[in-house]
Structures are given as C-alpha cells and as structure tokens.
Amino acid sequence: MSAAHGVPSPLRIGLVGHGFMGRMHSLAWQAVGRAVGPPATPELPLRPELTALAGRNAAAVEQAARAWGWQSWTDDWRTLIERDDIDVVDITTPGALHAEIAVAALAAGKHVLCEKPLANTLAEAQEMAAAAQDAAARGVLSMVGFNYRRTPALALARDLIAQGRLGEIRHIRAVYLQDWITDPEFPLVWRLRKEEAGSGALGDLGAHLVDLAYFLTGRRITGLSARTRTFIEERPLATSASGLSGAAGSERGSVTVDDAAVFFADCEGGAVATFEATRFASGRKNAMRIEVNGSDGSVAFDFEAMNELQFYDATMDGAGAGFTRILATEAQHPYLDAWWPPGHGLGYDHTFVNQKRDLVEAIAAGRPPVPSFADGLYVQGVLAAVEASAQNRSGWTAVPTVATDSQEAL
C-alpha cells in the first residue's frame, strides 16, 4: 500500500451488477477519489480505480461500463473474481447471488462490499458471515452496505445517544414508506419475486430500519411479533429485468414477497420498538423516519429532510424546552469535513460516497469496517423472525442470537 512520489497506491475495484444500485455505487466510486483530498481534507490513503464491471447481459454491461467510466467489463462475475488486478469486489446484484459471489470473492482474497440485506435467507447469511470471519484472519475485509448509516444527521444522532444525552433508551419507532407499486398493473420485476429478492418491503426497506435502530442505540432486538401482507398477488410479467421499472407484458405471474410488514419488538436494555415498512403508502416516495426516546431526551430524523436532526433535551426547564432543529452541515458534524460550506446540504448519493470513504480508509489501515457481515447476519436474523412470526401467526418470536462487531467506530 505504499505511495510513489506522494501518489496513493491504487485500490482496484470490481463491481458486480449494473442496475440502480450499480449506478449509485459507480457514481460513488468516481466521486470519492475527487471529493476527499486537498484542499478540503487529507487525501485518501488509497486511490480507487474503476477497473471492471460485471453483469449478466453482455450488451447492457458494456453500455453501462462505458457510461460510468469502468475500464473493462464482463458478462461473467467469476472471471472478474479470478483477475489479479482486482482488490475489492462490490456486490450490487439481486440478493439471490450475494452469498455465492461474496464467498467466492473472499476465498480469492478480495475485500468485499455487499449491498443489503446481506442475503436472501438466514442460512446464506450464516455462510457469508463464517466466510468473512475466516477471511479476516488472512487480512481480507468485508462490509455490508447499509448506506443510511453515512447520513451526517443520523451519525450525529448516534453520537448524541452514545454521549448519554438521551439517558436511558426507552422507545424506538421507525417507519419506511414508499408507493412505487401501488398500481396493480406495475410489472412483476425481480424485487417482487422471492427467489430473486428474498422478501419484499421487509428486506428492501425494513432491513434499513433494523440496522439503524441498532446503529443508533447499540441495542439489538431480542424478540418480536409481526404481520406481513401482500395486497396485490398477481402482476403482469416484466419485459425487462429492471429492479424498479420495466414494461409490462400481457402474461401475469404471482407476487411471492410481502408488500408491507409491521412488527413490534423488545430490545436489549428494556426498550420497546415499533417498525413499519411498506411500498403501499400512496404519496410517499422515500419517507424513512426514525425516532428514539430516552429518559433525558429524544432525537427524531426524517430522510425527506435528510440534513436535519430534531433533538429534544428533557433536562431543560419546561418553560423553554422544545425540539431543536440541528442543521447537520457544519464541518464538525460527521462526514462534513469533505463536503460543502455550512448550510449547503448533502443528498442521497453522498451517503454512498461517505460509505466508500469509510471502506477505503479501513482497508488502508487494516481495520475491520462496519457494518460487518456479522452485523448483516444479525439483521437477517431479525428478518427471519419477522417472517416466521407472520407466517405462523405464532405471536412472540425470539430473534436468533449472533455475535456482532463493535459499534465504537463508523
């Protein structure tokens, strides 16, 4: 990892997947080497290079690679992993491929970044976490891509909670609302098929909420009771493989994932929590909100105002108490050292750039990045418990106990 003439050594990236998430990761890999460095911040210790892009359709992956600045491309992810000039494998495919690609990449000595949720099943996540643990002993690192952790306002909320500003944590409430499949004629894209996506709103949206609740408070869910619903059970078959859109054909197929999931839970330390994830909240495009209430105060966050954090200090005199709006754009706020002057807000794409920065710095330092595959396994255990509770109508369901990594560092 040495640098010649003051130029950081390259970190050669291989990306698997060129859908919506592939595009976001491509843009982030391009931006991180340009956003971090003089005159704003110290230069990245390694220089990311967009070395190779892999996808299933040869023509589509070539088009994406040319558009997004990748040096080469392939329609077989296995050839990407076999290359000696790849240091990091970034996985943005549908969940059905996560385990196979990640395990192979780790065995080949590649660092791995894998999109959330970690896998489609608990068994696959356990296999991936075990492979990551074995690889770590050889200095090969891995991280799961919960990008919302890298929102400055949420990172600030975590800092306030860690400082004890909220006192004893008593209640967590989290919702993630979208509406992109309310139309019954929206096509049956891969995200609506269990064999590809694993689950529906639960894994796509709910996984973020479960991870953020743990990230913010350090308290894991121990048990829960859940309900899931599929409101539209048949849809027109999609004529393209797009994850969020695609033309509809005349034939129809079965929706095999949930459209909405709700559950309430017990957490370590005695806190209670409520979670709601749905793709059927008409008018809500990407409304992700989370609030944490404690004995001494509260924090509340809404991604539709992603640069703001609401903080209530319950120790203040009642006559002057109230929620304070913190605009998380100051240089001393998390991640803002690499970005714009105060008041100039960040956007969704910046969460991915911040994610890449954290990963590059961890690899350069030989430090395990977080969230780890063990953290991803914990989230997968919660998702599995939600499905079991909802399917069996079994009432209270315990969450499998797994070891998770330290939450001391982002």
Question: Which pLDDT value is given to residue 38?
Answer: 66
Is pLDDT at 21 greater than 60 in this prediction? Answer: yes
Average pLDDT over residues 31-37: 80
**245 confidence band (pLDDT: 50, 70, 90):** low
Question: Which pLDDT value is given to residue 395?
Answer: 81
CA atoms within 13 A on the CB side of 232: 19
**Cβ partners under 8 Å of residue 393, min gap 6:** none
Q: Which domains does the chain have, with CATH numbers?
A: 9-147 (3.40.50.720), 151-398 (3.30.360.10)
**5 confidence band (pLDDT: 50, 70, 90):** low
The whole-angstrom separation of Cα 222 and Cα 265 is 7
Cis before 38 (ω within 30): no
**Cβ partners under 8 Å of residue 297, min gap 6:** 165, 166, 167, 311, 312, 313, 314, 315
This prediction's pTM: 0.94
**410 confidence band (pLDDT: 50, 70, 90):** very low
**409 confidence band (pLDDT: 50, 70, 90):** very low
Question: Which pLDDT value is given to residue 246?
Answer: 59
**Cβ partners under 8 Å of residue 209, min gap 6:** 174, 175, 176, 275, 277, 288, 290
Question: Which pLDDT value is given to residue 404?
Answer: 62
The whole-angstrom separation of Cα 218 and Cα 214 is 5
pLDDT digits (tens, 9 = 90+) for 283-325: 999 999 999 999 999 999 999 999 999 999 999 987 878 999 9
Is pLDDT at 40 greater than 70 in this prediction? Answer: no
At 350, the amino acid letter reads H
Strand order in the sheet with 9-16: 72-74, 46-54, 9-16, 88-91, 111-115, 142-145
Q: What mean pLDDT, rounded, does the chain reach?
A: 93
The separation between the first and the last C-alpha atoms of the chain, rounded to the nearest angstrom, is: 22
Structure-derived torsion over alpha carbons of residues 190, 192, 195, 199, reported in degrees to the nearest 10: 130
